[in-house]
Chains A and B, each alone.
Chain A
Amino acid sequence: MAKAIIVSPDGIQHSQEIPTPFPFDFERDVLGEGPFNQRIAGALIELAMRDTFPEPKSNPLFTWGTLSPGFVMTAASSYFILNEKMQANAAVGEINQVSDAAIKERIDRRGVLTPNEIAEGRHKVKRSTPGMAR
């Protein structure tokens, strides 16, 4: 049987079976970076996000027109906190998805982070044990 081939698009390549993709960690590289550029986010919403992710007809988590930076960071942070808890007891291969309703419930209970709280890093997820699997 033929071997699988895997290549890195534009980076280092040691062999045709094992490339070395550039390491990426959402929590560290995206969530951990603090407040984000609202001008860029606004442009992306208008150019791509509204069409790619249309608002649901009922019970939306948010509307594109009223989305605030505080809500974005709160929702993203809530996802990672809830995800850590949900995956903790998941059987191997069984991944529980974090629903919008669960995020909404957490935000309703705890509120939306303020710009100062985001700047202080309160959105960051504290990890007890590092590891490659969530």
Chain B
Amino acid sequence: MQNYAIHCLLWMTRLGEEGKLSIDPTFPKVFYLDTEASSYFTLGRDVEGNPFIGVPQKLCPFFTQIDWLGVTIYPDAGYVFLEARDVQTHVLHMALGIKVRRKRLSALHVEGREDISKQRCNIRVFQQDPNSPDDFLCADQNEISNLSMRVIKSIDDMGSEMEMQDARDMLDQLGIDSSFTPIKVTT
């Protein structure tokens, strides 16, 4: 449904206005949430030890209707990316980075002790009273299941050189920098 698109656009625009969202200049389809916006989410393991990303109910229904196809961990930058990709071609549409303290990345994957190629990440919805943040309820069931997981060493691993160049060309045409600020054109 297209009203999901409107809500996603409005949400991300507000984050951009408040400086809580930035663009990766190398691959401008990759977006970074700042500390505060990342803290809207949760990470965890269910009782069977399967990793999940918790999404606040107030971001639903649009957030869980996006074609999230994978979860990428970028330990050096301290980010976990949810990747929206074309279902058939797997071309990246958008990667949304959640800032995670390095020690807490183990909630999703323990380096050296788990084979990430065999791990699958799920998405669950949680409810929280905005006026009483400790009132917290997390769903028992997954809203999205079996997202593939991987670890990357560089943003270059997020897509092909052609995809990245196309996105950089688009950013140049838009005349903005990684914080959505217009770039001054010098003659």
Which residues of A approach B to under 8 Å, CB–CB?
Answer: 1-11, 13-14, 18-26, 28-31, 33, 36-37, 39-49, 51-53, 55-56, 60-62, 72, 75-76, 79, 97-100, 103, 130, 132-134
Q: Are A99 and B1 neighbours in the complex by a CB distance under 8 Å?
A: yes
CB-defined contacts of B5 to chain A, threshold 8 Å: 49, 52-53
Known contacts A43-B180, A97-B1, A9 near B99 by CB under 8 Å: yes
CB-contact partner of B176 in A39, A45, A53, under 8 A: A39
Most chain B CB neighbours (cut-off 10 Å) among A7, A29, A56: A7
CB-defined contacts of B46 to chain A, threshold 8 Å: 4
Q: Are B174 and A46 neighbours in the complex by a CB distance under 8 Å?
A: yes
CB-defined contacts of A75 to chain B, threshold 8 Å: 3, 6
CB-defined contacts of A2 to chain B, threshold 8 Å: 47-49
CB-defined contacts of A10 to chain B, threshold 8 Å: 35, 38-39, 99-101, 104
| Cβ of B59 under 8 Å from chain A | yes
Task: Give 24 CB contacts A-B under 8 Å.
Answer: A4-B44, A4-B47, A6-B43, A6-B54, A8-B43, A9-B41, A9-B80, A11-B39, A18-B136, A20-B133, A21-B56, A23-B128, A24-B128, A26-B7, A37-B180, A42-B174, A43-B174, A47-B23, A49-B8, A51-B86, A52-B67, A76-B10, A97-B1, A133-B127
Known contacts A10-B39, A11-B39, A79-B3, A47 near B28 by CB under 8 Å: yes
Residue of A with least CB distance to B171: A47
CB-defined contacts of B167 to chain A, threshold 8 Å: 47
Which residues of B approach A to under 8 Å, CB–CB?
Answer: 1-14, 16-17, 23, 28-29, 31, 35-49, 54, 56-59, 61, 66-67, 80, 84, 86, 91, 93-94, 98-101, 104, 107, 126-131, 133-136, 138, 167, 170-171, 173-174, 176, 180, 182
Overall SS of chain B's interface: mixed
